[in-house]
Amino acid sequence: MSREVKYQKAYETLRKEILGDKYKSRKSFPSIVATCKRFGISRLTAFKVFDKLKEDGFISTRRGSGTFVTKGGRSRLIGLVIPGVSYSSEFFQPIVSAMIRLASDNNYTILMEGVWSLNSSDNSHESIEVAARLIKRQVAGVIYQPLEYSESSETVNRRVLSAFTSAGIPVVLLDGDIVDSPDRSEYDLVSVDNVAAGEKLCTHLIDRGARSICFLMRKNWVQNVMNRARGVRNVALSKGMKWSQSNVILADPADKEEVAKIMRRRPRPDAFVCENDVLAANLKCSLQSLGYVVPDDVMITGFDDIQIARIATPGITTIRQPYEVLAKAAFERLLKRMSEYSVYPVQIVCPFRFIERGSTKRLDVSEKTKRRAKQRRSQ
């Protein structure tokens, strides 16, 4: 029997025994020496088997403590907690699909949970129930997208994560942290660089002639959104533009009266960086109904590159997030966290892609005249 065949047999046998819950005791997993004798393999091959089992999240080895089966090795369940407001969103659908596929490839099962209520008292109670259910199911680890757009979101997130930590369940945060930048929590975080994305959008708008830029967002903002606003502010100030808190607007872009009031400002905004594509699309519609031409009078950018940004007229310039990359990075980090619980928390920054569309492509004078005439005819 070749060395490779012996290696594969030893790995598969031990993996099946772990999944069959054979090694229940913390110190019951066989040693390197015992593994060599059992399968007739060299120490080098035995170490290779153990390394593969560690890589796949089945076992952990600690100096002075020996080798033992991880919580992930015993349960093979991973919790995925997505707030209800994002649960079925176009942003999270491909991430969830990728997570389920990755889990299956690694012999895990995903348990999905959502927090649906936006009422401060209700979502706090509901979030603790979600954590309790996953803890009761003895999940090996949790990928958690922090609750957002709720007055109590900070308190709720801390309570939920505290419950997981007390139960010894490792957590990886997805999309955003639970503390204000530049601080970092004690949890791993996987996201894009939202500050850099904001800087890219603002630089693009200034290059296209913008001189009065505002950042549009919803109330009860989340940290990743504020980081986008910080990026816009950084570039605006570096280019000598005026910037104050009034440049960050908390408003409903579908409210035409509110948008009209914003456009009566002096200086009048000639460009908006919106929190996401949905807000950008709503703002575009309100501006057009008020007689403004996008992008000749006002340029607009969004974030996420969901379908509405692609089918809008004109299309919306935006930032595309790498869904598959985010999912893979979060899943792999959780596997590492489950096998080495004491590793130092890290932030994994995934690359974003800038997508330019018609909402920021200003034309020359003759083209502007033609477009204005076409818009008047359509009205």
Map out the domains of the chain as residue ranges: 3-69, 74-193+324-351, 194-321+355-378
pLDDT for the residue numbered 114: 76
Tell me the pLDDT tens digit for each residue of 260-314: 999 999 999 999 999 999 999 999 999 999 999 999 999 999 999 999 999 999 9
Check for a shared fold between 3-69 and 194-321+355-378. Answer: no
Considering only CA atoms, which of 203, 194, 156, 198 is closest in space to residue 176?
194
Task: Give the burial class of 189: count Cβ atoms within 10 A of its Cβ; 0-12 exposed, 13-18 middle, 19 or more buried.
Answer: buried
Domain at 194-321+355-378: CATH code: 3.40.50.2300
b/e sequence 285-314, b meaning 16+ C-beta within 10 Å? bbbbeeebbbbbbbbbbbbbbbebbeebeb
Domain 3-69, CATH number (from 2.102.10.10, 1.10.10.10, 3.40.1010.10, 3.30.9.10): 1.10.10.10
Residue 301: name the closest of 321, 268, 277, 285 by CA.
277
Q: Tell me what pLDDT residue 44 has.
A: 93
pLDDT in tens, 310-360: 999 999 999 999 999 999 999 999 988 887 766 688 999 999 999 999 999
- The pTM (predicted TM-score) of the whole model is 0.79
CATH of 74-193+324-351, one of 3.40.640.10, 3.90.400.10, 3.30.465.10, 3.40.50.2300: 3.40.50.2300
Region of residue 347 (left: phi > 0; alpha: psi -120 to 50; beta: else): beta
CA proximity to 164, closest of 146, 142, 179: 142
Which residues of the chain have a pLDDT value below 70? 1, 24-27, 62-65, 71-74, 84-89, 116-123, 149-151, 220, 341-343, 363-379
